[in-house]
Amino acid sequence: MRGGDSREILVEMRGITKRFPNVLANDRVDFTLLRGEVHALLGENGAGKTTLMNILYGLYRLDEGEIWIKGRRVNIRSPRDAIRNGIGMVHQQFRLIPTHTVAENVILGLKEAGFYLNYSDINERLREIISFYGWNISPSARVWQLSAGEKQQVELLKALYRKADILILDEPTSVLTPQETTQLFATLRKMAGEGLGIILISHKLDEVMQVSDRVTVMRRGRVVATKPTRETNPNELANLMVGRPLITSFERLNKPSEKPILRVENLRVLDDKGLPAVRGVSFTIRRGEILGIAGVTGNGQQELAETIAGIRKAVSGKIILDDMDVTNKGSMFMIRQGVAYIPAESSKCVAYQMSVAENLVMKSFRYEPFSKSIVIDWNSIKQHAERLIDAFSIVTPSPNTRAGNLSGGNIQRLILARELTGLPGSSAPKLIIATYPTRGLDVAATEFVRRTLIQNRDQGAAILLVSEDLEEIMMLSDRIAVMYRGEIVGVLEQREFDVEVIGMMMTGAKRGEAA
């Protein structure tokens, strides 16, 4: 086994059962973590893996079962109990205070720090850890000044400073560049080499194969397999997770048209704080083409997509759709022109308290056959919802179920069904703006979203795809434009796609410099 000679069991979870109302989240789960290993935990959304780790970290209380830490049975009732037992957790959403320094974030809530803080000793200890792992952050730096990768290092610092030797990382690469991901994996291997045990929750099979020693697959609250990573492969893992092989490549049926359907010319947009977010961006997209926008989140991609969709105003520049100037025309005008928008956050376009059927007609309830004059035809809405539920395989007890009761993957299917159907009597959308459409989804839901986008492309739609997942953006795109600090630093044709080059461009290198 890589990462250490000792096979001491750091964590043993026996027969863990956790129930929520109408849900059996963990069903007699057994899980072990060895000293000096990276153990990957895989499963679809709702498979129970995060619940299991939340129990280990004390965020949830188990209903049945036992937890043993280093050969001793323990009762973990809170994160404080977990930390006392040498367990640290790095959450997908960083839990840091931006205005505080690295050192202040590390010692925040640390009882052992005492009333009087000796920052000289604290900083010296932090510098030792930082130096050992080859990081470049300063204990005195403010968190808001750090990149996503550096913020993650601060989260790791918090655990290491508390002398944790059991680390749980929840989807740790979701906001990292390829270079930051490579550095993280080197850090994890070094930690394992020092005798730490690391549990990695991830939905990226290639990353699991790259960094882990063992992998446990969960499905519907149960463990279906635990195997040494070297004895398995991505296809087998996908099969274990969803019960069938996944589509990992897509063939092109038709060539894109020559004429652009969308032209963006020298577009400038401000963010919510009134600061420049999009700085003179220009590009075109043709019918039957996917243009991928790559970049670390927060470099203007969201503002760009919202402006094209008519949700945000442009300061200057033009948006030309089918030879029509549609700049600042508004979202309803863009919908009527055949523009579909899939937002990054479902909370911005799904009414969780309303039913699935009501959400599916949120854009079109004003039009026949769903309403006549001021009277809504609920029977037509129900029939329409049933057709979309079937076509998009939305798992729901009925069209009348609250949208908030659906899983993340099914909420995304609901959004796709509504946005890609368009208004009554209209044809399929001519332009689809998809921002981070698979973020947080499991492999089966991710495959469905990708396949749906490809089908629309093959039917002639132009697609603007914003994603931080380079594997996804290289798989789906015909061309890739890379954004950095509100500017497009280069556009690559499909034959030029290269992870390292795109990764360098995501950090600001121009196309020629990155190559």
pLDDT value, residue 53: 94
Last residue of a domain, one of 145, 163, 181: 163
Would the pLDDT of 412 be above 90?
A: no
C-alpha to C-alpha distances, 233 to 21, 32, 205, 224, nearest whole angstrom: 36, 21, 9, 15
Does any domain span residue 341? Answer: yes
Q: Are residues 178 and 148 in the same domain?
A: no
Burial of 340 (0-12, 13-18, 19+ CB in 10 A): buried
Rounded distance, CA 514 to CA 336, Å? Answer: 41
- Give the CATH number for residue 47: 3.40.50.300
How many secondary structure helices (H) and strands (E) does the chain include? Answer: 17, 22
- pLDDT by residue (tens digit) across 435-493? 988 877 777 778 888 988 998 999 899 999 998 888 889 999 999 999 999 999 999 99
Strand order in the sheet with 487-493: 339-342, 431-435, 462-466, 290-294, 479-484, 487-493
Rounded distance, CA 432 to CA 415, Å? Answer: 12
Would the pLDDT of 100 be above 50?
A: yes
Q: Are residues 172 and 159 in the same domain?
A: no
Give the pLDDT band (50/70/90) at residue 4. very low
- pLDDT by residue (tens digit) across 230-273? 999 988 998 888 777 666 667 776 778 888 999 999 999 999 88
Does any domain span residue 252? Answer: no
Does any domain span residue 294? Answer: yes
Q: Are residues 148 and 281 in the same domain?
A: no
Specify whether the CB–CB gap between 328 and 314 falls below 8 A. yes
- Please give the helix or strand (H or E) that residue 52 lies within, else none: helix 49-56
Specify whether the CB–CB gap between 304 and 271 falls below 8 A. no
Give the pLDDT band (50/70/90) at residue 115. low
- pLDDT by residue (tens digit) across 27-48? 999 999 999 999 999 887 778 8
pLDDT value, residue 69: 95
pTM of the model: 0.67
Specify whether the CB–CB gap between 292 and 299 falls below 8 A. no
Judged by average pLDDT, the poorest of 84-93, 267-276, 345-354, 366-375 is: 366-375
Q: Which domain holds residue 283?
A: 260-514
Q: Are residues 461 and 429 in the same domain?
A: yes
- Mean pLDDT over all residues of the chain? 87
Specify whether the CB–CB gap between 432 and 462 falls below 8 A. yes
Would the pLDDT of 365 be above 80?
A: no
Is the torsion defined by CA of 362, 368, 370, 371 positive or negative? positive
Per-residue tokens: 108: 């925040």
Q: Are residues 63 and 208 in the same domain?
A: yes
Does any domain span residue 15? Answer: yes
Rounded distance, CA 24 to CA 17, Å? Answer: 8
- pLDDT by residue (tens digit) across 184-239? 899 999 999 999 999 998 877 888 999 999 999 998 899 999 999 999 998 899 88
At 59, the amino acid letter reads: L
pLDDT value, residue 2: 39
Would the pLDDT of 174 be above 80?
A: no
Contacts of 410 (CB under 8 A, 6+ apart): 394, 395, 396, 445
Choose among 76, 63, 4: nearest CA to 33. Answer: 4
Q: Are residues 208 and 66 in the same domain?
A: yes
Choose among 161, 3, 37, 184: nearest CA to 88. Answer: 161
At 208, the amino acid letter reads: V
Taking residues 165-193, report their average pLDDT: 86
Does any domain span residue 70? Answer: yes
Contacts of 396 (CB under 8 A, 6+ apart): 356, 389, 405, 406, 410
Cα 469 to chain centroid distance, Å, stands at 8
Q: What angle do CA 421, 338, 260 make, to 5 degrees?
A: 125
Rounded distance, CA 160 to CA 152, Å? Answer: 12
Taking residues 108-113, report their average pLDDT: 66
Q: Are residues 147 and 179 in the same domain?
A: no
pLDDT value, residue 3: 41
Last residue of a domain, one of 209, 243, 277: 243
Q: Are residues 335 and 443 in the same domain?
A: yes
Taking residues 392-415, report their average pLDDT: 83
Q: Are residues 180 and 315 in the same domain?
A: no
- pLDDT by residue (tens digit) across 54-75? 999 999 999 999 999 999 999 9
Considering its fold, how many domains does the chain have in total? 3
Does any domain span residue 459? Answer: yes
Per-residue tokens: 494: 């499909």
pLDDT value, residue 468: 82
Would the pLDDT of 13 be above 60?
A: yes
Taking residues 278-290, report their average pLDDT: 95
- Is pLDDT larger for residue 430 or for residue 47? 430
Q: Are residues 46 and 188 in the same domain?
A: yes
Beta strand spans in 343-496 (E): 371-372, 375-376, 431-435, 462-466, 479-484, 487-493
Q: Are residues 131 and 120 in the same domain?
A: yes
Does any domain span residue 424? Answer: yes
Say which residue the tokens 């045990």 belong to.
197
C-alpha to C-alpha distances, 269 to 155, 162, 314, nearest whole angstrom: 33, 44, 5
Q: Are residues 279 and 372 in the same domain?
A: yes
Last residue of a domain, one of 180, 215, 243: 243
Taking residues 423-443, report their average pLDDT: 80
Does any domain span residue 226? Answer: yes
pLDDT value, residue 317: 96
pLDDT value, residue 112: 59
